[in-house]
Amino acid sequence: MADLDHLHTDLIARIDAADSLDALDAVRVAALGKQGAVTALLKTLGGMSPDERQQQGPRIQALREGVTAAIATKKAALDRAELDAKLARETLDMTLPAEAAPVGSIHPVSQVMDELAEIFADLGFAVATGPEIETQWYNFTALNMPETHPARAMHDTFYLNAKDGEEARVLRTHTSPVQIRAMQAAGGTKPIRIIAPGRTYRSDSDATHTPMFHQVEGLVIDKGITLGHLKWTLETFLKAFFERDDIVLRLRPSYFPFTEPSAEVDVGFSVVNGKRVIGGSDGWMEVLGSGMVHRTVIEAGGYDPNEWQGFAFGCGIDRLAMLKYGMDDLRAFFDGDARWLKHYGFSALDVPTLSGGVGA
């Protein structure tokens, strides 16, 4: 039986020696093929006596299994080597630059408007809109600014060429006309809480004034609303917007034709690295105008001023953006310079949320 052992040793050596899949296959054919040595041995089993078969059978089978397993192992090793070689040939310079997808951005004004909507939604304020080409009635008269009112002359109003038979329209000088429109839409019977962000226009142009700018109006009409509610609302809004608890407000008596009493609101700032940062009280910066809605305005909106009262405020959105994010030239807001837009803009995914913080 030394033949079997010898054959086994010989085949294993040849399998080991095979250096390619073809060579290995030649060994397989020589051992396990139709004419193969192991196949020939298996064939002899048929001619053996039962005793002999019982003795030789397992040994020949073991030989076959051993050779088969050795071939499989060798084949796997050769496959792997071939794959390794193939992958090695595919090596690239991984320092080569990958193609960059263009990166888009959201304008700071849009981002801040979204932030405002989020903050005020939590306080129950909806977002209202109105036309920018406005009638003089909505922009002035309904807001208690009759034609001869001195404040009307102070508005640096843009007038549009009049259409036939119509009074010349104006570009709205503030978002306050939306107060009237919101009251009219609510029909004089329901409480109102709205903010109205949008474009406004004054014929004024320097580093801090542009002929077009953005404002947000706030309006609450209800029963029993006082200046105290106004103060809390503005404090809450500014704390939420700047995400700081040390926001200090200072109210100053002022005058707006459409509110009575009226107040200008200063917010305290501190100076950090030579820049003004909102919070603290090193100095005061005027941020918004506000007051209790004038009876005449409530009436113009179709509400009974003996029953309803409320407050209104107006605030520059561009200015809010500058104070929060640090831009210092208003004119750059409207230039469309891609470098500026990328620098001060926001990712599409920076959606302001209350849970994640409204700032980005």
Partner 1 sequence: MKFTLSWLHDHLDTSASLNEIVDTLTRIGLEVESVDNPGAKLAAFRVAKVLTAERHPQADKLQVLSVDAGDGPMQVVCGAPNARAGLVGVFGMPGATVPANGMVLKVAEIRGVVSNGMMCSTRELELGDDHDGIIELPSDAPIGAAYPDYAGLNDPVIDVAITPNKQDCMGVRGIARDLAAAGLGRLKPLVVPGTTVTPAPVAGEGAGPDIRIDDSVGCPAFYGQTVAGVSNSTAPEWMTRRLQAIGQKPISALVDITNYVSFDLGRPLHVYDRAKLPGGLVARKATSGEQLLALNGKTYTLDESMTVIADDRAALGIAGIIGGEDSGCSDTTSDVLIECAYFDPESIARTGQKLAVTSDARQRFERGVDPAFVEDGLAIATALVLNLCGGTPGGITRAGEPPVPATVIAYDPARAETLGGLFVAPERQQAILESLGFTVSADWHVGVPSWRRDVEGVPDLVEEVIRIEGIDHVPPVPLPRIPGVATPTATPEQKTERRVRRAAAARGLNEAVTWSFVSEAEAAPFANVSGGGAWTLANPISEDLKVMRPSLLPGLLSAAARNLKRGADGVRLFEIGRRYLAEAERATLGVVLAGEKRARGWQGGKALGFDAFDAKAEAIALLAAAGAPVENLQIFGEAGEHWHPGQSGTLRLGPKTVLAAFGIVHPLTTRAFDLDGTVAAVELYLDAIPAKRGGTGFMRPAYAPPALQPVRRDFAFTVPAGLAADALVRAVKGADKATITAARLFDLFERDGVRSMAIEVTLQPADKSFTDEALKAIADKVVAAAAKQGAVLRG
x/- binding map, residues 209-248, to partner 1, per CB under 8 A? --xx-------x---xxxxxxxxxx-xx------------
Q: β-strands 192-201, 126-127: how paired?
A: parallel
Q: C-beta of 287: minimal distance to partner 1 in Å?
A: 14
x/- binding map, residues 305-334, to partner 1, per CB under 8 A? ----x-----------------------xx
Residues of span 81-110 touching partner 1 by CB under 8 A: 96-97, 99, 101-107, 109-110
Determine, following the binding rule CB under 8 A, whether residue 53 of this chain makes contact with partner 1: no
Residues of span 261-300 touching partner 1 by CB under 8 A: 261-264, 292, 294-295
Q: C-beta of 145: minimal distance to partner 1 in Å?
A: 10
User: What does the alpha-carbon distance between residue 281 and residue 84 come to, in Å, rounded to a whole number?
Assistant: 69
Residues of span 15-44 touching partner 1 by CB under 8 A: none
Q: C-beta of 25: minimal distance to partner 1 in Å?
A: 36
Q: Which residues pair with 74 in a beta bridge?
A: none
Pick between residue 8 and residue 214 the one whose CB is nearest to partner 1. 214
Residue 50 neighbours by CB distance under 10 Å: 8
x/- binding map, residues 104-143, to partner 1, per CB under 8 A? xxxx-xx---x--x--xxxxxxxx---xxx----------
Are 241 and 235 in contact, with CB atoms under 8 Å apart? Answer: no
Pick between residue 26 and residue 117 the one whose CB is nearest to partner 1. 117
Closest CA to 121 of 354, 355, 316: 354
- CA-CA distances (angstroms) from residue 215 to 234, 282, 325, 356? 15, 26, 17, 25
The helix/strand/coil state of 127 is strand
User: Candidates 7-15, 82-90, 152-160, 275-283 — which segment interacts with partner 1 by CB under 8 A?
Assistant: 152-160
User: What does the alpha-carbon distance between residue 325 and residue 345 come to, in Å, rounded to a whole number?
Assistant: 10
Pick between residue 120 and residue 241 the one whose CB is nearest to partner 1. 120
Q: C-beta of 221: minimal distance to partner 1 in Å?
A: 12
Q: C-beta of 215: minimal distance to partner 1 in Å?
A: 14
Q: C-beta of 283: minimal distance to partner 1 in Å?
A: 13
Pick between residue 43 and residue 209 the one whose CB is nearest to partner 1. 209
The helix/strand/coil state of 166 is coil
Give the DSSP per-residue string, 309-338: EEEEEEEEHHHHHHHHH----GGGGGS--H
Mutual angle of helices 227-242 and 108-122, in 10-degree steps: 130
User: What does the alpha-carbon distance between residue 219 and residue 290 come to, in Å, rounded to a whole number?
Assistant: 10
Pick between residue 36 and residue 345 the one whose CB is nearest to partner 1. 345
